[in-house]
Amino acid sequence: MSTNTTQTASAWRRRPDDAPETITDETVDLLEGWWRAANYLSVGQIYLLDNPLLRRPLTKDDVKRRLLGHWGTTPGLNFLYAHFNRAIIERELRAIYIAGPGHGGPGLVANTYLEDTYTEVYPNITRDEAGVGKLFKQFSFPGGIPSHVAPETPGSIHEGGELGYSLSHAFGAMFNNPDQIAFTVVGDGEAETGPLATAWHSNKFLNPVTDGVVLPILHLNGYKIANPTVLARIPEEELVSLMKGYGWEPLLFEVDADEDHAEVHKRFAKVLDEALDKIADIKKANEGVDPKDCERPIWPMIVFRHPKGWTGPASVDGKKAEASWRSHQVPLSNARDTDEHLKLLEDWLKSYKPDELFDEEGKLEARFDALKPEGDLRMSANPSTNGGLVLRDLLMPDFRDFGIETEGHGGPMVESTRVLGKFFREIAKQNPDNFRIFGPDETASNRLQDVYEVTEKQWMAEFLDDDDSFIDQQGQVMEMLSEHQCQGWLEGYLLTGRHGMMSSYEAFIHIVDSMFNQHAKWLESTEDIGWRRPIASLNYLLSSHVWRQDHNGFSHQDPGFLDVVLNKSPRVTRVYLPPDVNTLLSTFDHCLRSKNYVNVVVAGKQPEPVFLSMDEAIAHCTRGIGIWDWAGSEVAGEDPDVVLACAGDVPTLETLAAAELLEKSIPDLKVRVVNVVDLMRLQDEKEHPHGMSSHDFDTVFTADKPVIFAFHGYPWLVHRLTYRRTNHANLHVRGFKEKGSTTTPFDMCMRNDIDRFHLVMDVIDRVPSLRSRYAGLRQEMADRRIEARAYANQWGTDLPEIADWVWPDAGDAVGKVGATATTGGDNE
């Protein structure tokens, strides 16, 4: 793929005032021919195994034995691609094409082949008859390519297999891309999804000076898989009102099925030029304007109506096919089995007159070069669509400069994410056009508000005099109370070569489970696509987590996103549970420097102890797991009697408190304390790149001693990661088990049995030599749980000796640094 970026971007010029009202007949002929060629190649991909250019009569052996693909939306996508190319050439636009309809794969593959990018990327798909044959065979075929606009398709940043995100991806791609335009085709089935319906509002966040342009084309072909679509079946006046209500200026275009194609091309070209002229006017009006002084424009969008399955068979087996849901997938499903369907398929293919389009060698006629943009101006070769080509490393401050000094272990008390916000502040300052923070109205709630010292929340809707001073027309913080939009914006931003992160309440990140799934699958696929360059990792900060949502209650208590993440490929997923602020800083520095991963970091925002010095934290994060000898009571050269393991900030706190109780109450008990930062370390080295060998795992956790593991998430996740380990039978995991409520922090721990008193009870129960000897201590621990709950029920807070507990050697260092803990409200 070409990586030349020396061409200058368009000046967003209008068509000249004296330009002809309609395109020339010669241009019409080229558009029609290109469209026919793309349609022919699309049908061929779905059906043909051999005889790619019909140089002999079609036989059943020329037809694939298993027919897979989707025709219904494809001709419209092909029509639009040809017209976009004409506009790109005339205006020197830098454009990307986002195909929102879920199954337009053959069309985009066809167009990238026609403009030669496909052969540049895949040299074996040559520009001749043999290459066309390979192009056809590989589609939806074992060892070939998927049916969607997948990572394998040059120019794609949006697969479309999961509907609802075309617009959010487009806007994300255009942030900080002022000289680019995203032609974004929104399928009418896709338009029925909640994320897409919300995404129309993204125009309130696009700055006309610092950002690029999104031109949505609402692609109304009338049907989904088997039903009509809502937006195609409401009155035009209602549809126009809907789009205007979203803040768009809709331009309408509808195909008359009986209309001459030449007139269709002329009419649509006029509509497209009108939209692009309006965009040029908006861009011109904002030249030289301070991005913080510009006003939100009313951007154009196009409503494009055409029959589903346009130019395909009008009817099949006496039933309507074109302009019907029956054209959605494979209209001629028995093309290999019946002579009637085989003849219909041959007639359909020949209707595009391939002999007029491809020369003797099978290459597209040279006259169509006039519709091929040059070099990087091809949508399929735009470097931004292979984001690693344009990726610039972040300028990073030294995270050590933000670390918290400690004396001993366990002090001072710090809001960890608040300190992380100071780190992000400096990153934002040093990378004003290359780094953004995304989140659903929770940046400040998750204690990252120090970023507002150097940047604002971008906002292009109306302002009131008493609005928060942190919103402005241009900024690096993107907040919208829709996790889908934040995720989609971030994905588009990353896929086009920039850096960012997303913060969310832990329980509500589940809203984007399926979006995470698709992005992880995308990254996994690109690992095996040589021409795709690595992009910046998708970084999540999950705060307001399960153990500190005691004030918001059960609905806000769910650590299950970790389970979702660990379903995906170990090549692309990473989960980190830093126990304090210094490990959090070290972890996020690593994550922001990484590429092609999804990094999930869980960290608390409430005041919590600093357990490790910065040097200790760096070493601990580098290992990913470690024995905290200062917290245990084992004797060098002897096996421990029990291992107390922990992962997560609150489980770590409770584990250390339990270790102290055990040292005081059973001084001869040899306790080893193990903390896990990198959750993937628990897996076997054969299953994950970060996994430990069996030898190393047994060295840390022993081969035969009881292991009591206090875990941030659902306990069975640890069992899932460690089930092959030698000592798994002795592993007892405590974690969240769906016991939540509006209560105190310590009561949340007691409800799920990860509290310090229950951990001591677990040790007594599982170390055989302790069971009868320390029955009294076990009873004391049970009584202290009763006392703690009674106190919470009476006073609404935890016992002071629990709430104020610190590790014994914290000494005079204990105090609150940046601690502004609060206790209420949905935004806390």
Report the pLDDT value the prediction gives residue 147, as an integer from 0 to 100. Answer: 87
**What are the residues whose beta carbons fall under 8 Å from the beta carbon of 367, sequence distance 6 or more?**
30, 33
Report the pLDDT value the prediction gives residue 10, as an integer from 0 to 100. Answer: 55
CATH architecture of 399-607: 3-Layer(aba) Sandwich (3.40)
Q: What φ, ψ does residue 711 adopt, rounded to 5°?
A: -120, 145
Label residue 261 exposed, middle or buried (CB < 10 Å: 0-12, 13-18, 19+): middle
Report the pLDDT value the prediction gives residue 825, as an integer from 0 to 100. Answer: 37
Report the pLDDT value the prediction gives residue 820, as an integer from 0 to 100. Answer: 37
Structure tokens that stand for 491 in this block: 């994905």
Report the pLDDT value the prediction gives residue 557, as an integer from 0 to 100. Answer: 87
Exposed e or buried b for every residue in 119-158, given b needs 16+ CB within 10 A?
bbbbeebbbbbebbbbbbbbbbeeeebbbbbbbbbbbbbb
**In the block, which residue shows the tokens 């039903």?**
227
Bridge pairing between strands 477-479 and 625-627: unpaired
Q: Which of 320, 80, 110, 346 is nearest to 222 (CA)?
A: 320
- With beta carbons less than 8 A apart as the criterion, state whether 276 and 213 touch: no
First to last CA, the chain: 48
**In the block, which residue shows the tokens 């011109």?**
284
Q: Which of 177, 207, 251 is nearest to 10 (CA)?
A: 177
- With beta carbons less than 8 A apart as the criterion, state whether 615 and 555 touch: no
Please give the Cα distance from 595 to 157 (Å, whole number): 16
pLDDT along the chain (828 residues), means of 10: 40 83 95 98 96 96 90 94 97 96 90 97 97 95 90 93 91 97 95 96 98 97 90 97 98 90 96 97 95 96 94 88 83 89 94 96 96 97 97 97 91 93 98 97 93 96 87 95 97 98 94 95 95 98 88 85 95 97 98 98 95 97 97 94 98 98 96 98 95 97 97 96 95 95 93 97 96 95 97 95 88 43 36
3-class SS string, 422-468:
HHHHHHHHHCCCCEEEEECCCCCCCCCHHHHHCCCEECCCCCCCCCC
**What are the residues whose beta carbons fall under 8 Å from the beta carbon of 121, sequence distance 6 or more?**
1, 154, 531
Label residue 676 exposed, middle or buried (CB < 10 Å: 0-12, 13-18, 19+): buried
Report the pLDDT value the prediction gives residue 11, as an integer from 0 to 100. Answer: 64
Report the pLDDT value the prediction gives residue 813, as an integer from 0 to 100. Answer: 42
Report the pLDDT value the prediction gives residue 5, as an integer from 0 to 100. Answer: 35
**In the block, which residue shows the tokens 């170990």?**
570
Structure tokens that stand for 412 in this block: 């001072």
Angle at 122 between CA 118 and CA 126, to 5 degrees: 75
Residue 336: how many other CB atoms lie within 10 Å: 20
**What are the residues whose beta carbons fall under 8 Å from the beta carbon of 792, sequence distance 6 or more?**
743, 744, 746, 747, 798, 799
Q: Which of 119, 195, 75 is nearest to 518 (CA)?
A: 195
Q: Which of 64, 74, 9, 7 is nearest to 35 (CA)?
A: 74
Q: Which CATH number fits domain 25-385: 3.40.30.10, 3.40.50.970, 3.30.420.40, 3.40.1180.10?
A: 3.40.50.970
Q: Which residue type, as a one-letter code, is found at position 721?
A: L
Q: Is the dihedral of CA 738, 744, 747, 749 positive or negative?
A: positive
Please give the Cα distance from 91 to 523 (Å, whole number): 34
- With beta carbons less than 8 A apart as the criterion, state whether 171 and 214 touch: yes
DSSP 8-state assignment for residue 566: T
- CATH fold for domain 632-797: Rossmann fold (3.40.50)
**Residues in the chain, overall count:** 828
Identical fold between 399-607 and 632-797: yes
Number of H helices, E strands in the chain: 23, 23
Label residue 79 exposed, middle or buried (CB < 10 Å: 0-12, 13-18, 19+): buried
Structure tokens that stand for 225 in this block: 């898989």
Evaluate the omega torsion of the peptide bond into residue 412 and state whether it is cis, within 30 degrees of 0. Answer: yes
CA distance to 17, 123, 172, per residue, from 158 (Å): 36, 23, 12
Residue 379 φ/ψ region, left for φ over 0, alpha for ψ in the -120 to 50 degree band, beta for the rest: alpha
DSSP 8-state assignment for residue 334: T
Domain residue extents for the chain:
25-385, 399-607, 632-797
